[in-house]
Structure 1
Amino acid sequence: MQVLLVFLSVAFALSLGAKLPLDGTQNFNIHQRIFGGKDAHKGQFPYIVSMHIRRANESYICGGSIIDHTWILTAAHCIHNADWVKIFYGSTTLWNSELSHVVYSDNIIEHENYDNGTHVNDIALIRTPRVEYSELINKVSLADRGNDYEGAWAVASGWGEIAHNSISKSLQFVGLQIDRKSSNTIIRSTTWDGTSCGRGDSGGPLVTQDDPKLIGITSTGIGGYLTNFCRVSAYLDWIRSHTGLEYKARVREPKTYNSLTMQVLLVVLSVTCALSHGAKLPLGGTQNFDIQQRIQKGKDAHKGQFPYIVSLAISKKNRITECGGSIIDNNWILTAAHCTHNADWVEIFYGSTKYEQGEFSHVVGSDNIIEHENYDMATTHVNDIALIRTPRVEYSELVNKVSLADRDNDYVGAWAIASGWGKNEYGRKQENLQFIDLQIHSKMNCWNYIYKPSDTIICVGPFVGEGDSGGPLVTRDDPKLVGVTSFLDPGRLSGFSRVSSYLDWIRKHTGLQ
């Protein structure tokens, strides 16, 4: 089939992403999008999955194909050096799936001869918990060994960008004809009508239109003109060697999570930016306070000690920032406004002392974030408080709420506990939840240190540190959430948003008394 669309220039496509040499002559953009595609209906492609991939402080998306109850086939460049992958099954809407699994790096098998420079052998497997097939979730058969599929029509599908700065939240598909065979390991489709795969579709399937078979994995190309796919038939022995019954690799079983019941609207992260090197997204304003906080000289918390704390992975454009938050109700998290300011989405990890390894997690879009309407990020960080609406969570020994501060208590002189996963005094990331006892200063002592005195700020000493922003300050005796970690004056004190100053604001948005 042919889908008519304005032709996207090769020069523009090449300007968008990392470049790689192929066949020694041309440069191709490896981060793909469906250009000139159509919306898929629910259940039309039950074999495709979308994947949220985390590597270091970067986050990006790719596609993949279900080839068995416990196996996903995708591109090696998608999962190269990945820490973990969240797989979304059975939906045409990005991140709003019937089922999702989180899978860690020890369940990822990258082709042993994959070359990250030339992207030869751009194929990988992901082992998952068992999924049961249905109308919306099903496997696709693999390509026939002796068929090169020259001239055949096939369907490519994915959730990537559909044009320049135009993001598809709905699954797109496009019909492509296979070129004459020019490589034993690559299938190529060249078009002149503006149809192709593109950035965000990497790792996704190319499936024959008649007698559906998975013949290709989206790899490299030029948006609107040409797409290269990894030829599946060239890797049948490799696939079977890893997915057969004799496979005995060590596997840490990932947890299974039910998907959100509310629709999560997300801005798609550009794979190009995620894979490229870039400056970290600054969170600070113009004054001399470091608002990316750390628990320094803290102690390791034991499991269940602070069931109200959550860790947050926050996406802002193409960067991931890390913050903490507090459970204040079954459906609400309290955190700092500077953490969620301009966020595209937030993943919330509940019930663990290990960073981003919760008992379960929720992904929440920007339409579920409520930032204080008078938050001033540029100057004072006054009103540095925000709410996140979540799907309902049930309480347990590991997941529970914390009571809010009393309205008329300033807590001067009281001892309180700050907790979080931020870096230590040596700049090393804390994988285990840390906590520290701190004494609350008088307002006058606090005002001597901060740029603009405010009754809405609590000061403690010595200080917390980077990565703990948004986390809780809870009184040691009769635990109450009295502060939300906001800023740091290095070597002297830490500033927290005073929760008691915002009880009416919290009640207005949550209905909590």
Structure 2
Amino acid sequence: MLLFHIRTQFPILNKKKSKIKSDTCTDKRTKEHGTCIIINECPKVIEDLRKNIFPTTCGFQGTDVLVCCPKLKEKTVRKPGQISDEMCKIYSQYVWSKELSPTLLAGAEDIARNECPFDRLELVVGGAPASRKEFPHMVQLGYGRNPIVWGCGGSLISNQYVLTAAHCTYDRSLGEVLYARMGVTDLDDPENLQQYRISEAIPHPSYRVPNNYHDIALLKLEKSAQLNSWVRPACLYKSVKSPWSKAIASGWGKTSFGGSDSSILLRVVLELYNQTYCTKVYRQESRTSKLPEGIKDDLMICAGHSKDLKDTCSGDSGGPLQVYYSGGEKNMSCMYDIIGVTSFGKGCGFGVNIPGVYTRVANYLKWIEDTVWPIE
């Protein structure tokens, strides 16, 4: 039937003008380059004919119709970290704000002001309130309605996606995560607050309750966030092996075990522990279904304090473990690389040398990038 349609739609071409099999051609409708082949050998043309879309013909080979079959587009291949690096540089523009030039001279350029509120701090172990705009990627997640209960944390990594822990996508008492708010350091000062509904929660496909492995998820906002110096995505660190000995955790979580949540965003500098030591700390958990294979270095980062009772706590789950941006580009001193996502621990400040465990972001970079910035 398809062959009948093609013969009746297009007259037999003059042999001098006809092309032969394997000749190059151009589709008259789409202007795409292709190759002349027998109609039954071109799935794209057959698919189009079923929709009454007729192809460009090249002629005939015997009784077989030759059609201009578009070349298959090569699948874009990118290295993990490539697209997030590119987007990181784009997002860094929001460190700067532009103001209209006060002069009325024609061609006067706008004034660019650096909105970075801090210099890179010496990473001294300890905790303190965060400065305004110090962590513009910080997100707080909400559950339930009337009232909304704000619980886990997260990191804005694009204008529409938040990175968090998989266990934060659902609360046994309150149900699914529904809201995300950002743009504030002090929750009692909501002037620059942005709040959005979450349209989709995407736990990593390998995450299984009650297992603690692959505890990472992406949340899609119903609308794109308005990026500025108060709300700006963070970067993603792409190497599983890193030179860091310390990193910064941040969140509005409880300041002590059993205590109340903090209304002011807090930051704490933590020391990174090796897998051998961390495995010893969590030896008991490795005998349960939560951690049957123990601490896996390629999937997890352990961080805590060797001297003080400083730790992430309830309410900090899903929040970032971060380091200052290490790419070396100019004008990016105010950016962060997310290296981990707060996952689990032994309670808040359970003791010195009792590290918490963070999901290692670099191991999941391809999954994150393919979800947030899919190849079209």
TM-score (norm 1): 0.39
The 8 Å contact of residues 194 and 225 in structure 2, kept in 1 or not, is answered as: no
What is the SS of the residue equivalent to 2:256? coil
The 8 Å contact of residues 316 and 345 in structure 1, kept in 2 or not, is answered as: no
The 8 Å contact of residues 170 and 177 in structure 2, kept in 1 or not, is answered as: no
How big is the shift at 1:371? 1.0
Within 1, Cα distance between the matches of 2:197 and 2:231?
Answer: 18
Match of residue 344, structure 1, among 176, 181, 187:
176
Within 2, Cα distance between the matches of 1:355 and 1:312?
Answer: 13
| Structure 1 equivalent of residue 131 of structure 2 | 302
Within 2, Cα distance between the matches of 1:321 and 1:351?
Answer: 15
State the AA in 2 paired with 1:328. Answer: I
Q: Quick check: 1:498 aligned with 2:360?
A: yes
| Structure 2 equivalent of residue 422 of structure 1 | 253
| Structure 2 equivalent of residue 435 of structure 1 | 267
| Structure 2 equivalent of residue 404 of structure 1 | 236
How big is the shift at 1:315? 2.9
Residues 187-222 of structure 1: CA deviation (Å, up to 9, x unaligned): xxxxxxxxxxxxxxxxxxxxxxxxxxxxxxxxxxxx
Aligned ranges 1:28-47 → 2 under 5 Å: none
Q: Quick check: 1:487 aligned with 2:344?
A: yes
C-alpha distance 429-412 of structure 1, shift in aligned 2 (>3 A) = same
How big is the shift at 1:377? 2.5
Which has more helix, going by share of residues?
2
Match of residue 295, structure 2, among 453, 474, 484:
453
What is the SS of the residue equivalent to 2:369? helix
Within 1, Cα distance between the matches of 2:281 and 2:145?
Answer: 31
State the AA in 2 paired with 1:306. Answer: F
What is the SS of the residue equivalent to 1:368? strand
Within 1, Cα distance between the matches of 2:355 and 2:167?
Answer: 18
How big is the shift at 1:314? 2.2
What is the SS of the residue equivalent to 1:418? strand
Residues 284-337 of structure 1: CA deviation (Å, up to 9, x unaligned): xxxxxxxxxxxx962111110111111111239998350111010111100011
Within 1, Cα distance between the matches of 2:317 and 2:265?
Answer: 14
State the AA in 2 paired with 1:364. Answer: R
State the AA in 2 paired with 1:339. Answer: C
C-alpha distance 358-465 of structure 1, shift in aligned 2 (>3 A) = farther
The 8 Å contact of residues 313 and 321 in structure 1, kept in 2 or not, is answered as: yes
Sequence identity of aligned pairs in percent? 30
Within 2, Cα distance between the matches of 1:432 and 1:317?
Answer: 23
What is the SS of the residue equivalent to 2:263? coil
State the AA in 1 paired with 2:250. Answer: S
| Structure 1 equivalent of residue 204 of structure 2 | 372
| Structure 2 equivalent of residue 381 of structure 1 | 212
Within 2, Cα distance between the matches of 1:301 and 1:504?
Answer: 31
Q: Quick check: 1:466 aligned with 2:317?
A: no
Within 2, Cα distance between the matches of 1:512 and 1:314?
Answer: 28
How big is the shift at 1:485? 0.4
Q: Quick check: 1:313 aligned with 2:145?
A: no
How big is the shift at 1:444? 2.4
Structure 1: give runs of 5+ residues left out of the alignment: 1-295
State the AA in 2 paired with 1:417. Answer: I
C-alpha distance 377-326 of structure 1, shift in aligned 2 (>3 A) = same
C-alpha distance 506-494 of structure 1, shift in aligned 2 (>3 A) = same
| Structure 1 equivalent of residue 30 of structure 2 | none
Within 2, Cα distance between the matches of 1:351 and 1:494?
Answer: 27
State the AA in 1 paired with 2:193. Answer: F
Within 2, Cα distance between the matches of 1:441 and 1:512?
Answer: 34
The 8 Å contact of residues 338 and 361 in structure 2, kept in 1 or not, is answered as: yes
What is the SS of the residue equivalent to 2:140? strand
Residues 48-90 of structure 1: CA deviation (Å, up to 9, x unaligned): xxxxxxxxxxxxxxxxxxxxxxxxxxxxxxxxxxxxxxxxxxx
What is the SS of the residue equivalent to 1:438? strand
| Structure 2 equivalent of residue 509 of structure 1 | 371
What is the SS of the residue equivalent to 2:227? coil
Count residues with an aligned counterpart: 215
Residues 18-54 of structure 1: CA deviation (Å, up to 9, x unaligned): xxxxxxxxxxxxxxxxxxxxxxxxxxxxxxxxxxxxx
After TM superposition, where is structure 1 displaced by more than 4 Å over at least 4 residues in a row?
316-319
What is the SS of the residue equivalent to 1:439? strand
The 8 Å contact of residues 350 and 358 in structure 1, kept in 2 or not, is answered as: no
How big is the shift at 1:423? 1.1
Aligned ranges 1:68-83 → 2 under 5 Å: none
How big is the shift at 1:373? 1.7
Within 2, Cα distance between the matches of 1:316 and 1:485?
Answer: 25
Aligned ranges 1:133-282 → 2 under 5 Å: none
How big is the shift at 1:372? 1.2
| Structure 2 equivalent of residue 56 of structure 1 | none
C-alpha distance 317-394 of structure 1, shift in aligned 2 (>3 A) = closer
The 8 Å contact of residues 240 and 360 in structure 2, kept in 1 or not, is answered as: no
